[in-house]
Amino acid sequence: MNPVCTRWVAVLAGVLTCLATAGLGRWQLQRADDKLSAAALMQRRATEAAWTAADWPCASADRQASVDLPVDRPAQLRGRWLGDRTVFLDNRPMDGSSGFIVLTPLRLSHGPCQGQVLLVQRGWVPRDVRDRQRLPAWQDSDAEVSVPGRVAQQPSRTYAIGDEALPDARLHRVIRQNADAAFWQAWLGQAPLAGALLQTDDERPSGVALLRHWTAPDAGVGKHQAYAAQWFALSAIAAGLTLWFQFLRPLYRARARALAQPDPSRP
């Protein structure tokens, strides 16, 4: 490849690098704006009246895509825990510690969805460092409870490799990476309602302290802004290096060579 082609290939690579890194910076700023918008929406909805069982749509989770839920709106539901159907969602850190998110079905006792089941994300418990499969023991009351919380689009989900086997319904409480509609159909014998309740009060099973340091919608805004600054800095560096090595330095060298050559018109 001749020097001219090499130079313009380098220029093209520099321009593409500038555009790619600048685009990544804009993407990080957009993510920060999305989180700020979600936080503002949560603040507005926090002032609205709490949802009750009379407001919750009776569509099942397998039709959730068509259900418009007011995510982060306060809610207050009454029902009875299905404690023996509790699921422990694995690999869910909180405050820098490894543990489980506790997910228990609540059978609603009021409203048009009476008798149907809603999933309640109750809180977080640490993992036993000596026995990773050991679960905290508690006994949920059979009495009707009132559970305050926030509306969620779905329970916590995390990345998982491969499909998990369906549970043995004869067991009581299981550990899962995720719990999808097929799991709940096998585990409960029915599909739960769309959405979930993110519990926020101090109600807890006997002898078990549940943490509820749920991530705020605006969490990580500073991180995204810092990433954006890094990408924009890389874009500026790529632009500066391309300008210097492909245009300015060759120009300075050409001028230096011209000045170093003797003037034939001078004796």
Q: Do residues 35 and 67 share a domain?
A: no
Residue type, 238: A
| DSSP assignment letter at 94 | B
Q: Is residue 229 part of a domain?
A: no
Q: Is residue 72 part of a domain?
A: yes
Nearest C-alpha neighbor of 9 from the set 254, 245, 219: 245
Q: Do residues 43 and 113 share a domain?
A: no
Q: Looking at the 3D structure of the chain, how many domains does it have?
A: 2
Q: Do residues 195 and 156 share a domain?
A: yes
- The last residue of a domain, from among 199, 227, 251: 199
pLDDT in tens, 75-110: 999 999 999 999 999 999 998 899 999 999 999 998
Q: Do residues 80 and 151 share a domain?
A: yes
The confidence score (pLDDT) of residue 204 equals 57
- The last residue of a domain, from among 199, 224, 246: 199
User: Buried b / exposed e across 101-129, counting CB within 10 Å, b at 16+?
Assistant: bbbbbbbbeebebeebbbbbbbbbbebee
Answer whether 126's CB lies under 8 Å from 215's CB: no
Euclidean distance between CA atoms 146 and 253, whole angstroms:
80
The confidence score (pLDDT) of residue 74 equals 92
Range of the domain at 251: 14-47+237-267
The confidence score (pLDDT) of residue 60 equals 77
Euclidean distance between CA atoms 255 and 264, whole angstroms:
17
Euclidean distance between CA atoms 207 and 23, whole angstroms:
51
pLDDT in tens, 159-182: 877 788 888 877 888 999 999 888
The confidence score (pLDDT) of residue 264 equals 64
The confidence score (pLDDT) of residue 266 equals 60
Largest CA distance in the chain: 112
The confidence score (pLDDT) of residue 123 equals 92
The confidence score (pLDDT) of residue 205 equals 56
Euclidean distance between CA atoms 136 and 146, whole angstroms:
23
**Distance of alpha carbon 144 from the chain centroid:** 32
Nearest C-alpha neighbor of 120 from the set 216, 39, 53, 171: 53
Q: Do residues 27 and 81 share a domain?
A: no
Q: Do residues 183 and 252 share a domain?
A: no
Residue type, 57: P
Q: Do residues 169 and 264 share a domain?
A: no
The confidence score (pLDDT) of residue 168 equals 82
Beta pairing class for 174-176 and 87-89:
parallel
Q: Identify the segments of the chain with pLDDT beneath 50.
A: none
